[in-house]
Every structure is written in C-alpha cells, then in structure tokens.
C-alpha cells in the first residue's frame, strides 16, 4: 500500500451508488482485510453510516466513487472527515473488464474495484474540492438551462411535424418557430381556415403588438395568408393534429418562460463571481449565454488543471493520436464532458465573426482542407491555450496584444489577415 496514502487517511472506502442503496467496500489503512456492507439511500441511514465510520477510525477517510455530483455526493460532502475521490465510470469499466472478463456488473465488486483503484493508484485521482456557493449554483443553473433548451428544440420539432400534416403554410410565414410571436399566432389561429377568416386590420394589430414593425414584412404575410390553399379538408386529420399543436404550443411557451427565468438567475449569479466581469463577459462572441458557460468550464480553482494541455484534453478538443505498427490515425476524443466540449466549440464558432484573428485562423484551416467542424475544433484548441493563460494570470483578453504577438513571430496566419509576413 502506498505509504503516503496510509499516512493521510485512516481508512479507505469504495462506494457503488444506486437510487435505493449504496454498496461499500471498506479497508483500514493499517491492514489488508476488506469488509463489505451497504446502506439505504435515506438521510438517517447515510448519517448513521458516516458517523459510525468516523467513530471507528477517526481522522480523514478516503471515499472512491464514480460520481462528482449527485444526491449521494451532496450528502457525503456534509462530513468534513470524508474526502471524496471521483473515478471516471469508463476507467472503472475498463478495470472491471481487465479483472472480470465476463463484464457482468456486480455492485459489491464495483465497490471493491473502486477501492482497489484508489489504493493502488492514488496519484491518478484528485480529491473533490467543492467550489464556492455562487460557482456551484451557476454550474447547476447552466446545466438546467441547457436541458430546457433541449426540451424547447424537441417541442419545436414536434410542432413542425404536426403542422406539416394540415397547416404547413404557417411554417413559411415565420422564420423562427421558437418565439412568443409564433406561439401566440398559432394559439390564436391554429388552422388555416381560422386565419383566413380574420380581418386584415386584426392581423395587422396582432403583428404590431408583437413588435413586428416592418410594414413590408407584415404585408408579405398578409398576402401569403390570403393566397394560401388548404393542404387537406379531412376533419379527422385537422382535428387530431390541431389538438396536438395546441398542447405543444403550451409546452413550448412554458419552456420559453422557464429559459427566461433561468437567464435572469444566471446573470445575477454570474455577476457575483469576479472572473465573470473581468475575464469571460468581455470575450469576443461570448454574450450573456456563452460567457457563464465558459466560466463554469474553467471554474474558480486555478490548481484544477496541470496546464493548458490538460484542459484541452479534458474539454475534448485535443485530438487523440493512435499509433500501431506503421499506422497512425487521429480521431475525435470521445471521453469528455459533452456539454463542456459543445460550449468550447460553439463559442469558437462565434469568435469567427467577432475576432479578427479567429476568423482568419478558421479560413486558414478550411483552405487546408479541414471540414467546418474540424476547423472549429482546431480553433477551440487554440483559444483554450490563450484563455488558460488569461485565467491563470487574471489578465483580460486583449485582441490587439495577441495580433501584435503574431506580427512579432511572423506568423503564417498574417497572410489570412491581409498582411505580408
């Protein structure tokens, strides 16, 4: 057993979590004997287990588990004598495969494997360090908002499918189908017959009340409504799909309102964190939605990553090179937080329009034959190295300084900026 680990902790625990119960494998620091047990996922049971453990061993106790967040993590973080070590589920799965070729999952065995990984390879796992309340709150708010955006997309897609069955024209009258204007229009006129019966003055008043002030756009819609012909006269088709559309509109409205509420709470919470206004809000193309997501990705613990390369790998924008014999291949990094990777790549895409050098770099990669997505991943890779330095030194990003640095180095990128090297 690693002597450093023995000195730090009085006992080690491997925990396999579940909704109803948690299996554990326990080993004291001064012996090799292991014990198996389980406790129910109930507050009093968790409390009784943790306090009994502390009374028996005292000192600090290391707990290895597959989660870095979730109900059991939140419950165990209350106890200052428990130090949690998150283990990547894929790491545990590969370890299980190596020592259990059948690959059959068994909760007590998984608890022991987690314990074994921590004891044999303590240098590979970092203790979970809870960030401050505002940062943790922001992280959860951003994740919940993303779920709502996914819900909104599903409602919009289902709404479009339903409207295509009997009322496809309305999808052409509006460019965006996830707005209050669209929801209110469909709610008021859920069929083509209904909207064709409406007076022109009524329709104009409706559009103007929804800030559709362009008379040209309003007139175009009125002409399209007047010229529209029904797709079908089948009452069964129209009636059934109309009901579905009306229900989906209600769900879409709720999602839009919920996203607005989360946006307000995210803005309030992000403003409490110094790095937001200093580093992330001023970034080109970040905006009120992307800037909080970027801040959550970096966090507030500046010892969290060993360097920019570690951050690039963690976010999934660093490519994976596989070498076997004479063959070498480079592919996408799959094992990473998907939402974090999406954040970095989506923001990189925004910077193409708002950062002079980023746009030039993107064009350079496309000229080399890279696909759109590959060029964005490459740009995100480059941005992360820049942002990491800004984050570490608490220095706001300065576009002019970076451009001057490119000129001093004689970067090949200059020709894509319209400058001679």
Task: Decide if 114 contacts 239 (C-beta within 8 A).
Answer: no
What are 38's strand-pairing partners? 23
DSSP state of 371: -
Closest to 414 measured CA to CA, from 349, 360, 369, 355: 360
Give the DSSP per-residue string, 291-343: HHHHHHHH-S-TTSSSSHHHHHHHHT-S-EEEEETTEEEEE---SS-HHHHHH
Q: What is the pLDDT of residues 148-200, one digit of tens each?
A: 999 999 999 999 999 999 999 999 999 999 999 999 999 999 999 999 999 99
Q: How far apart are CA 113 and CA 169, in angstroms?
A: 59
| Residue found under tokens 């998984």 | 110
Contacts of 40 (CB under 8 A, 6+ apart): 20, 21
- The 3-class SS string of 152-193 reads HHHHHHHHHHHHHCCCCHHHHHCCCCCCHHHHHHHHHCCCHH
What torsion, rounded to 10 degrees, do the Cα atoms 278, 283, 286, 291 define? -20
pLDDT at 2 over 50: no
pLDDT at 317 over 50: yes
* CATH architecture of the domain with residue range 3-129: 2-Layer Sandwich (3.30)
| Residue found under tokens 């922001």 | 138
Q: What is the pTM of this model?
A: 0.85
Q: Return the exposure string of 229-246: e unless at least 16 CB atoms fall within 10 Å of the residue's CB, then b.
A: eebeeeeeebeebbeebe
Alpha helices by DSSP H, 189-321:
192-197, 200-209, 215-227, 235-270, 274-275, 287-298, 308-315
Every domain range in the chain assigned CATH 1.10.287.4070: 136-268
Task: Decide if 138 contacts 266 (C-beta within 8 A).
Answer: yes
**pLDDT > 70 in the chain, percent:** 91
What are 36's strand-pairing partners? 25
Residue 109 pLDDT level (bands cut at 50, 70, 90): confident
pLDDT of residue 47: 96
Neighbours of 18 (CB within 10 A): 11
Q: How far apart are CA 195 and CA 184, in angstroms?
A: 13
| Angle, helices 133-164/235-270, rounded to nearest 10 degrees | 160
CA distances from 28 to 34, 112, 114, 175 (A): 8, 13, 15, 65
Mean pLDDT, residues 28-54 taken together: 94
Structure tokens at 22: 């948690």
First to last CA, the chain: 58
Which stretches of 29-70 are assigned E, i.e. beta strand?
34-40, 61-65
Q: How far apart are CA 14 and CA 110, in angstroms?
A: 8
Q: What is the pLDDT of residues 358-375, one digit of tens each?
A: 999 999 999 999 999 999
Every domain range in the chain assigned CATH 3.30.420.10: 3-129
Tell me which of 42-46, 193-197, 299-303 is least confident.
Answer: 299-303
* CATH architecture of the domain with residue range 136-268: Orthogonal Bundle (1.10)
pLDDT at 136 over 90: yes
Strand, helix or coil at 213? coil
> Measured over all CA atoms, what is the biggest interatomic distance in the chain, rounded to whole angstroms?
86
Identify the residue with better confidence: 224 or 322.
Answer: 224
Mean per-residue pLDDT of the chain: 90
């Amino acid at each position: 057993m690693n002597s450093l680990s023995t000195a730090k902790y009085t006992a080690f625990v491997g925990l396999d979590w579940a909704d109803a119960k948690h299996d554990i494998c326990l080993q004291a620091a001064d012996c090799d004997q292991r014990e198996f047990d389980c406790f129910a996922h109930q507050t009093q049971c968790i409390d009784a287990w943790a306090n009994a453990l502390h009374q028996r061993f005292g000192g600090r106790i290391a707990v290895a588990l597959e989660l870095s967040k979730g109900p059991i993590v939140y419950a165990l973080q209350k106890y200052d004598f428990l130090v949690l070590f998150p283990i990547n589920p894929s790491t545990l799965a590969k370890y299980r495969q190596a020592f259990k070729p059948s690959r059959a999952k068994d909760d007590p065995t998984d608890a022991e494997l987690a314990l074994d990984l921590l004891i044999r390879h303590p240098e590979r796992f970092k203790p979970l360090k809870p960030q401050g309340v505002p940062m943790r709150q922001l992280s959860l708010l951003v994740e919940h908002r993303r779920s709502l955006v996914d819900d909104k997309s599903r409602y919009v897609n289902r709404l479009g499918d339903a409207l295509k069955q009997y009322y496809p024209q309305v999808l052409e009258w509006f460019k965006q189908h996830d707005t209050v204007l669209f929801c209110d229009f469909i709610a008021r006129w859920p069929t083509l017959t209904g909207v064709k019966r409406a007076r022109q003055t009524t329709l104009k008043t409706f559009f103007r009340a929804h800030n559709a002030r362009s008379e040209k756009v309003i007139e175009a819609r009125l002409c399209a409504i007047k010229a529209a012909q029904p797709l079908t006269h089948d009452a069964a088709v129209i009636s059934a799909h109309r009901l579905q559309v009306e229900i989906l509109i209600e769900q879409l409205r709720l999602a839009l309102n919920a996203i607005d509420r989360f946006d307000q709470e995210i803005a309030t919470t992000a403003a409490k964190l110094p790095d937001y206004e200093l580093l992330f809000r001023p970034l080109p193309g970040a905006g009120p939605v992307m800037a909080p997501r970027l801040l959550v990705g970096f966090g507030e613990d500046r010892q969290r990553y060993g360097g920019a390369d570690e951050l690039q790998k963690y976010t999934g924008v660093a490519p994976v090179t596989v070498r076997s014999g004479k063959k070498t291949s480079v592919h996408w990094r799959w094992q990473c937080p998907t939402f974090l990777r999406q954040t970095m790549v989506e923001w990189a895409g925004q910077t193409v329009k708002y950062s002079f050098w980023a746009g030039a770099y993107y064009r350079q990669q496309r000229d080399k034959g890279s696909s759109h997505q590959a060029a964005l991943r490459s740009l995100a890779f480059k941005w992360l190295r820049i942002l990491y330095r800004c984050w570490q030194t608490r220095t706001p990003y300065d576009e002019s300084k970076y451009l001057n640095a490119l000129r001093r180095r004689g970067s090949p990128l200059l020709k894509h900026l319209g400058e001679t090297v």
